[in-house]
């Protein structure tokens, strides 16, 4: 089948417009002093290009004879078909201004490969899906690539796009999974995600390690200080000391740590979307002369002060109906007792429920809380009844016990039935026998309270197939690393300060994302081995 249909060339213009077929030389328009005619002809050709429905070699040849400047924008508003030879001709042309194709819905790999040679920005706003091969071809493009309608690309597609040498704008993506974030990390230029409104904690942590510059101006909540640092810091060394303007008008929620990062920077930051902050955050932000806040910003009052130790049904209902930013927990700081009835009222809300002062609950209260569709954090429970653990484990939401210290075999059996994130950072010692039961848990498992593990425990934990978080471990013997290297899935060892070359070799075998600390005390050959592994993620020093 021929690459182009000669009849398609007729689609570039209205057949009633005979001016399109003239072969007039426009090079003397300026010498004749007739600049008005020059401008008229440019506008005329811009309209002709916007009516073009097919891009072929003849189309490009005619446009090259037009009076358009080399850096003129080429808005192919009606193009629905681009031939391979037409794309190649455009790439060979003298044009290097932006070219947009808002009506082009599909892109074959061979056409993408040809378009990648174009010397200007490419705006492919009609593309809603992209094959891996097409994405690989586009990655060879060196100017800005804009994909405004690509809403839910596969991780493999994002991995190929991440290799693009120029800036990328992905305006169609509204949510980023941890896996998607990881696939974008190798991008070394500028990545813009203007439509992303919320990032989960893992995705935020991963994006903070992206190689190049990152922009996410549509975020509503920003609580990760490392992500804030990445969003505020340019990668160009020549621009580090030059203040710039950062627009975050949609952010309504900031953590104290993020406020401290913003205050340290000399950038002009627009935070006019914030209407309510804590007194601590407001004090930090107002110390910076570069931060712009709304004139109507108010100090958030604590709804349940520590003096309140009881909660009635009316207050509970009002609490869960209270509007708050996405990702903000509902924290009952002063609540020390909780009945099943009140627990059931609280469970009807959404988002995280945090109980920093509750030391115990009964099984009925636990059953009521297990119906909640959000995270449950029990910040004061250092002991737990087995019946309560069984009741809570019926939820599919995250369970967090930051100070639970005594993990018995019966508790481990109860938690093994839980299907969701489980954080047991209060556990400082764990026997292999209990771990053998706990690894049957389905979901992520946080054991960052463990400061060290031996080979027998590492052997058991390596059999866990979920996200395993061991951020409390500061050093890793070679025999322990040998077992952890066999773990398959997500593994976080961000507390590691140094590894030996032999330890690095074992960890480099890990299948799945491996999050490590800065490893500042490690020999260069160890760091080199880890960086060569596609699964290892090490922050830049």
pLDDT of residue 307: 42
Reading the block at residue 483, the tokens are 């077992």
pLDDT of residue 540: 62
Angle at the Cα of 144 from the Cα atoms of 71 and 235, rounded to 5 degrees: 120
Question: Using 50, 70 and 90 to split pLDDT, how confident is the model at 289?
Answer: confident
pLDDT of residue 326: 52
Q: Are 284 and 258 in contact (CB under 8 A)?
A: no
Number of C-beta neighbours around residue 46 at 10 A: 16
**What are 148-183's pLDDT values in tens digits?**
999 999 999 999 999 999 999 999 999 999 999 999
Longest dimension (CA), the chain: 94
Q: Where, residue-wise, is CATH 3.80.10 in the chain?
A: 6-234, 313-537
pLDDT of residue 33: 47
Reading the block at residue 78, the tokens are 């009606």
Question: Using 50, 70 and 90 to split pLDDT, how confident is the model at 305?
Answer: very low
Number of C-beta neighbours around residue 525 at 10 A: 11
Rounded mean pLDDT, 231-254: 71
Q: What percent of the chain has pLDDT over 70?
A: 87
Interacting residues of 39 by C-beta distance below 8 A, sequence separation 6+: none
Secondary structure class of 61 (helix, strand, coil): helix
Q: Where are the alpha helices (DSSP H) in 376-512?
A: 386-392, 409-415, 432-438, 455-461, 478-484, 501-507
Q: Which of 124-133, 258-267, 516-525, 527-536 has the highest mean pLDDT?
A: 124-133
Angle, helices 256-264 vs 225-232, to 10°: value is 30
Q: Are 415 and 422 in contact (CB under 8 A)?
A: yes
Question: Which numeric CATH code is attached to 6-234?
Answer: 3.80.10
Spelled out in words, what is the top-level CATH class assigned to the domain 313-537? alpha beta
Please return the burial class of 236, using the count of CB atoms within 10 Å of its CB with bins 0-12, 13-18 and 19+: exposed
Please return the burial class of 287, using the count of CB atoms within 10 Å of its CB with bins 0-12, 13-18 and 19+: exposed
Instruction: State how far the Cα of 165 lies from the Cα of 58, in Å rounded to an integer.
Output: 30
pLDDT of residue 496: 93
pLDDT of residue 14: 39
Q: What percent of the chain has pLDDT over 90?
A: 63
Secondary structure class of 496 (helix, strand, coil): coil
Secondary structure class of 372 (helix, strand, coil): coil
Question: Using 50, 70 and 90 to split pLDDT, how confident is the model at 228?
Answer: very high
Number of C-beta neighbours around residue 125 at 10 A: 18
Reading the block at residue 492, the tokens are 């976080």
φ, ψ (nearest 5 deg) of residue 281? -65, -40
Q: Are 88 and 45 in contact (CB under 8 A)?
A: no
Question: Using 50, 70 and 90 to split pLDDT, how confident is the model at 364?
Answer: very high
pLDDT over 70 (residue 328): no
pLDDT over 90 (residue 329): no
pLDDT of residue 35: 64
Count of H-run helices and E-run strands, the chain: 21, 28
Rounded mean pLDDT, 451-457: 96
Angle at the Cα of 510 from the Cα atoms of 506 and 512, rounded to 5 degrees: 165
Instruction: State how far the Cα of 416 lies from the Cα of 392, in Å rounded to an integer.
Output: 12
Rounded mean pLDDT, 26-31: 44
pLDDT over 90 (residue 146): yes
pLDDT of residue 235: 54
Angle, helices 57-64 vs 84-92, to 10°: value is 30
pLDDT of residue 34: 57
Instruction: Please list, residue by residue across 141-170, b when 16 or more beta carbons sit within 10 angstroms of its beta carbon and e when fewer do.
Output: bebbbbbbbbeebbeebbbbbbebebbbbb
Q: Are 52 and 78 in contact (CB under 8 A)?
A: yes
pLDDT of residue 26: 44
Nearest CA-CA partner of 177 in 150, 149, 196: 196
Q: Are 473 and 452 in contact (CB under 8 A)?
A: yes
């Amino acid at each position: 089948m021929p690459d182009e249909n000669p009849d398609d060339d007729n689609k570039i213009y209205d057949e009633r417009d005979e001016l399109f077929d003239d072969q007039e030389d426009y090079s003397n328009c300026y010498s004749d002093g007739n600049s008005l005619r020059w401008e008229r002809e440019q506008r005329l050709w811009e309209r002709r290009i916007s009516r073009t429905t097919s891009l072929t070699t003849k189309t490009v040849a005619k446009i090259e004879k037009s009076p358009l400047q080399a850096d003129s924008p080429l808005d192919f508003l009606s193009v629905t078909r681009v031939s391979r030879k037409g794309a190649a001709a455009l790439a060979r042309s003298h044009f290097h201004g932006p070219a947009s194709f808002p009506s082009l819905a599909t892109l074959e790999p061979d056409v993408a490969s040809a378009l990648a040679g174009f010397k200007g920005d490419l705006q492919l706003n009609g593309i809603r899906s992209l094959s891996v091969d097409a994405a690989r071809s586009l990655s060879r493009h060196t100017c800005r690539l804009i994909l405004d309608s690509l809403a839910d690309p596969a991780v493999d597609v994002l991995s190929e796009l991440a290799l693009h040498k120029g800036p990328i704008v992905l305006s169609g993506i509204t949510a980023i999974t941890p896996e998607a974030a990881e696939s974008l990390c190798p991008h070394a230029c500028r990545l813009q995600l203007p439509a992303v409104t919320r990032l989960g904690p893992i995705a935020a942590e991963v994006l903070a390690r992206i190689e190049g510059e990152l922009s996410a101006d549509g975020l509503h909540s920003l609580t990760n200080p490392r992500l804030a640092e990445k969003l505020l810091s340019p990668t160009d060394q020549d621009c580090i000391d030059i203040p710039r303007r950062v627009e975050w008008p949609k952010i309504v929620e900031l953590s104290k740590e993020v406020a401290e990062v913003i205050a340290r920077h000399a950038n002009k930051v627009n935070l006019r979307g914030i209407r309510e902050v804590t007194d601590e955050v407001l004090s930090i932000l107002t110390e910076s002369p570069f931060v712009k806040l709304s004139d109507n910003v108010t100090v958030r009052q604590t709804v349940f002060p520590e003096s309140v130790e009881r909660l009635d049904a009316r207050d509970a209902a009002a609490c869960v109906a209270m509007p708050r930013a996405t990702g903000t927990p509902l924290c009952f700081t002063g609540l020390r007792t909780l009945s099943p009835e009140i627990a059931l009222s609280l469970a009807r809300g959404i988002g995280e429920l945090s109980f920093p002062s509750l030391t115990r609950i009964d099984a009925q209260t636990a059953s009521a809380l297990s119906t909640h569709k959000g995270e449950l954090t029990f910040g004061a429970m250092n002991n737990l009844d087995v019946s309560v653990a069984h009741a809570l484990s019926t939820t599919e939401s995250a369970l967090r016990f930051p100070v639970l210290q005594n993990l018995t075999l019966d508790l481990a059996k109860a938690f093994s039935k839980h299907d969701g994130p489980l954080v047991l950072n209060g556990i400082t010692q764990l026997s292999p026998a209990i771990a053998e039961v706990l690894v049957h848990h389905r979901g992520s498992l946080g054991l960052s309270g463990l400061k060290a593990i031996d080979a027998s425990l590492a052997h058991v934990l390596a059999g866990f197939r979920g996200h395993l978080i061991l951020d409390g471990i500061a050093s890793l013997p070679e025999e322990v690393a040998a077992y952890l290297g066999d773990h398959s899935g997500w593994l976080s060892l961000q507390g590691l300060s140094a590894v030996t070359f032999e330890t690095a070799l074992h960890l480099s075998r890990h299948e799945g994302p491996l999050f490590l600390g800065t490893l500042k005390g490690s020999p260069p050959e160890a760091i080199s081995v880890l960086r060569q592994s596609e699964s290892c993620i090490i922050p830049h020093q």
